[in-house]
Amino acid sequence: MTTNVRTRFAPSPTGFLHIGGARTTLYSWLFARRHGGKFVLRIEDTDEVRSTDESVTAILDSISWLGLDWDEGPVNGHADKGPFAPYFQMKRVETYRKHLQQLMDAGKAYKCYCTKEELDEMRRVAQLEKRPPRYDGRCRALTDSARVALEAAGKKFAIRFKMPVEGATIVDDEIRGKVSFENKLLQDLVIWKTTDGPTYNFCCVIDDHLMEISHVIRGDEHLSNTPSQIQMYEALGWKPPVFAHLSMIMGPDGSKLSKRHGATSVLEYRDLGYLPHTMRNYLALLGWSTTDSQQLFTDEDLIAKFDLAGCQKSPATFDTVKLQWMNGEYIRQMPVEDMVKLAMPFLEKAGLAGLPGPDFKKTVALEQEKFKLLSEIPALVEFFYKPVQFTPKAMDKVLKAPGVKPVLLDLVEALKDFAPFEDKALEVRIRKFCEEKALKVGQVFHPLRAAVTGRTEGPTLFLMLEIMGREQVLARLKDAAALLS
């Protein structure tokens, strides 16, 4: 077992938690739990323009809904728990300022006075000359007198980290192996902004070291930042953590996953009616697998089997068809009491909660084999609680067929005193009714279903009648017959 494991998820609160971030959270959580370590949640809010409290709340809600508990990090909004608090970067600015000064004193960082227009022009020229659009280092060798003159003229400055210009920086990645970056192709990153605040690339190095993070598991879009971050660790005299960069997540068409492929945020999947367990299981398989290609896992299974060795380099494909199949599998396995509890927000939104009618445990269990999403439940059970709404097919193809009205009225007579009003007994009685009236079962069963539900399809007929109850069944048979007048 790897010892003293500490992982982290460090989102920027500039929007919702999306699928890629959710997978990173899950993998970091699984790795920490597998090795008996700690999982840290840190909010990287250095983008002061786009960071919002609403996004912080949405991210915390998303991770909580996924069932991924963090050992250290924000709780109750902007409060913190853990020995390395605060866990919001903008509350840690003085810590970063101290380490910035350390780099400046050691000649490892320098002031850059270039304006946005000058930087844009550098990029434009580099693109025309088919060179990487990178900072050309023009402020790197300014003399002290030149700096004094620029500042006297009111020039604002950012601070850049001084990268080596020769050799290569090796990223020893747990998933990708050794990845080499030529230093001459890497630019001097801004680590302190002209607005007198730190940047992400600088903060995450300081925080990961001070918070004793052992393993940084993150998306491969961060791989290009890693050589600069490794050089910062070395400049500060620190040992870098172990890095593991996860593969990209693609849509079914092979392009990067985006809104055109459907929902992208975790809370959207919650609102669509997916189970937290389904999302944990499915996200785990987006770029990781066991040697036997297991598909369905308990949480205990996932924790016991997850390892970085099973993570793939090639992009993973997000398949909503497979996700929905998996959700249906877990819904069918779920105790009905748990399913009703999880479905209650959807039942409430549909206006069914609190209406007179059968216990939800009975009506939901009746259709459990059909549900793929919790959000589908209200539409399939609402006829038990709301007045009958006849579909065109139920009315025009079934109820308006010749001879239906007397069948319905005769059923009222046959059932009004019949006991016990239970599924098996009801089936025997209604089949006998068919014989007595010399009718085919379809001439009775179909109008009966359409009259009491307004639909031509639905759950097993006789158990449905039992759950609905004699009074409701008879009233709906009479109402349907009256409509046929």
Measured CA distances, 457 to 177, 244, 395, 461, 479 (Å)? 56, 51, 13, 9, 19
Position 167 scores a pLDDT of 96
Closest CA to 260 of 323, 318, 324, 322: 318
Position 256 scores a pLDDT of 82
Position 262 scores a pLDDT of 67
Distance CA 420, CA 326 (A): 39
Residue range 6-78+249-317, CATH number: 3.40.50.620
Position 79 scores a pLDDT of 74
pLDDT digits (tens, 9 = 90+) for 199-222: 999 999 999 999 999 999 999 999
Distance CA 85, CA 364 (A): 46
Q: Does the annotation mark 256 as catalytic?
A: no
Position 485 scores a pLDDT of 75
List of the chain residues with pLDDT < 70: 1-2, 77-78, 262
Position 115 scores a pLDDT of 92
Can you name the residues that pair with 72 across neighbouring β-strands?
Answer: 40
Residue range 92-246, CATH number: 3.40.50.620
Closest CA to 408 of 444, 437, 442, 384: 444
Place of tokens 């269990």: 365
Question: Which fold, 336-483?
Answer: Arc Repressor Mutant, subunit A (1.10.10)
Q: H or E stretch including 182?
A: strand 177-182
User: CA triplet 73, 78, 82: central angle to 5 degrees?
Assistant: 25
Place of tokens 């009958």: 388
Measured CA distances, 403 to 408, 414, 415, 420 (Å)? 9, 17, 19, 28
- Helix (H/G/I), strand (E/B), else coil: 300: helix
Residue extent(s) of CATH 3.40.50.620 domains in the chain: 6-78+249-317, 92-246
Residue extent(s) of CATH 1.10.10.350 domains in the chain: 336-483
Distance CA 23, CA 343 (A): 25
Closest CA to 273 of 157, 379, 123: 379
> pTM of the entire structure?
0.91
Contact 268, 241 (CB under 8 A): no
Residue of 259, 416, 424, 440 marked catalytic: 259
